[in-house]
Amino acid sequence: MVTITLNASLKEYNTFGLSAKAAVLAEYDNVEALKLVLGNELVQQHKDNIWCLGKGSNILFSGDFNGVILHGKIKGIEFIEDTEEKTLVKVGAGETWDDVVEWAVQHNLYGAENLSAIPGEVGAAAVQNIGAYGSEFCDLVVSVEALNTKTLEIENIPCANCQYGYRESIFKHQPFKSLYIVTSVVIELKKNAEFKLEYGNVKTALEGKELNLRNVRETIVSIRNNKLPDWKVSGNAGSFFKNPVIPIEKFEKLKNIYPTIPSYAVKQEGMVKVPAGWLIEQSGLKGFKHGGAQVYEKQCLVLINTGNALPSDIVELSNIVIAKVKEQFDIEISPEVNIL
Ligand code: EPU
């Protein structure tokens, strides 16, 4: 199936719920259809301005997009290898990620449960390396299948070549960003319980409950529901900013002034990650409104559309937040959301 729409509304294609239009919206539900899309004359006219979109849960359309929005609907969850310890599963890029987590829990397979209730689709999860509660998508990835837009061949890219990092992969940067369109991902799920419960209040929230997959998933969903706004009620794209990684010396100086400043260890030597939500809250911006945009009261890392925000309200609010945090802490935070 190929669907091409001109001057398409993107309101249903972004969880901020903003009204923007794309010159061309092209959708496909299998690899052959994707090849047809790439050869289409209307798509070719904008070949230097193509954006691959999943659910639109990590994007801010700052205005109309004068290019092609490609939206894949490749579905399927398929067993491909089974051993005593693990199961390899191939998942279509257009599957909703949380449906995959639910599927894994139903099949008694471990490893995906901490990534419960993250909005978005599998292809985007592989590009963005979604993460939460001590797990990252790349912990599960065996390989990523992508269409090479030059050769029109499917390539199988092993996890080690994807250069995964904190919300990072090769697919986010040129030349790979234009070269590859993710069509499916092979993930590895474990057959034996291996829970990660060390993050924040996960363990405490599980107290009194039996430690099993279903309860871990439900606990994570409930922690998220308490902290993060439902995009169907207040448009948002999850964390708007990344948590900054700063030198330990700078962190120690800040700790002298703000003894309660939280931090997370990172792999980079001499560095530490600081929660941007905390920095924003300490900058006095909790609940701060600008036009129809607002810093979410329960988690300052999230910017919400209170109902009729203009894209510019959100862009301006994000600039206000960045400037205030810089002024107060001399730390430059940067958006996690893709701004188009
Ligand atoms: N905090 C505040 N004020 C706030 C927000 C946070 O003081 O307004 C403090 C919390 O009290 C806590 C610390 O900051 O001590 C960390 O907060 P939290 O556990 O909520 O996590 P986070 O670092 O703010 C990250 C991810 C989230 C993910 C959670 C849980 C990023 C950019 N965000 O947030 O991911 O759900 O950890 O693992 O790394 C997303 O990427 O869209 C997302 C929601």
Summarize pLDDT for 214-232 with one digit per residue, the tens. Answer: 999 999 999 999 999 999 9
Q: How confident is the model at residue 327 (pLDDT cuts 50, 70, 90)?
A: very high
Picking from 133, 101, 86, the residue whose alpha carbon sits closest to that of residue 114 is 133
Q: What is the pLDDT of residue 32?
A: 98
For 134, which DSSP code?
T
Q: Taking residues 112-117, what's their average pLDDT?
A: 98
Atom of ligand 1 nearest to the CA of 300: 8
239 C-beta closer than 6 A to ligand 1 = yes
132 C-beta closer than 6 A to ligand 1 = yes
Six-digit token pair at 92? 């279509």
Distance (Å, whole) CA 58 – CA 54? 9
Picking from 271, 287, 254, 270, the residue whose alpha carbon sits closest to that of residue 262 is 254
Is 57 catalytic? The answer is no
Q: What is the pLDDT of residue 241?
A: 98
284 C-beta closer than 6 A to ligand 1 = no
Q: Taking residues 78-91, what's their average pLDDT?
A: 97
Which residue has a Cα nearest atom 13 of ligand 1?
275
Q: What is the pLDDT of residue 148?
A: 98
136 C-beta closer than 6 A to ligand 1 = no
Q: Cα 138 from chain centroid? A: 12
Which residue has a Cα nearest atom 7 of ligand 1?
278
Contact between 61 and 17 under an 8 Å Cβ cutoff? The reply is no
Q: What is the pLDDT of residue 197?
A: 97
Q: Taking residues 177-204, what's their average pLDDT?
A: 96
Q: Taking residues 14-39, what's their average pLDDT?
A: 97
Q: Taking residues 105-121, what's their average pLDDT?
A: 98
Give every CB contact of residue 111 below 8 A, 6+ residues apart in sequence: 104, 135, 139, 140, 187, 188, 189, 190, 194
Q: What is the pLDDT of residue 244?
A: 98
Q: Output the furthest CA–CA distance in the chain (Å, rounded).
A: 61
| Phi, psi for 252 (deg, rounded to 5) | -60, -40
Which residue has a Cα nearest atom 36 of ligand 1?
132
Which residue has a Cα nearest atom 11 of ligand 1?
278
Atom of ligand 1 nearest to the CA of 298: 8
- Distance from Cα 305 to the centre of ligand 1, integer Å: 19
Distance (Å, whole) CA 114 – CA 117? 9
Q: Taking residues 34-60, what's their average pLDDT?
A: 96
| CA 78 vs CA 64, 102, 138: distances in Å | 37, 15, 19
Q: What is the pLDDT of residue 223?
A: 97
Q: Taking residues 194-222, what's their average pLDDT?
A: 96
User: What mean pLDDT value characterizes the chain?
Assistant: 97
Q: Global pTM?
A: 0.96
> Long-range contact list for 245-249, CB < 8 A, 24+ apart?
245/166, 245/271, 245/272, 245/273, 245/274, 246/271, 246/272, 246/273, 246/274, 246/331, 247/271, 247/272, 248/272
Q: How confident is the model at residue 206 (pLDDT cuts 50, 70, 90)?
A: very high
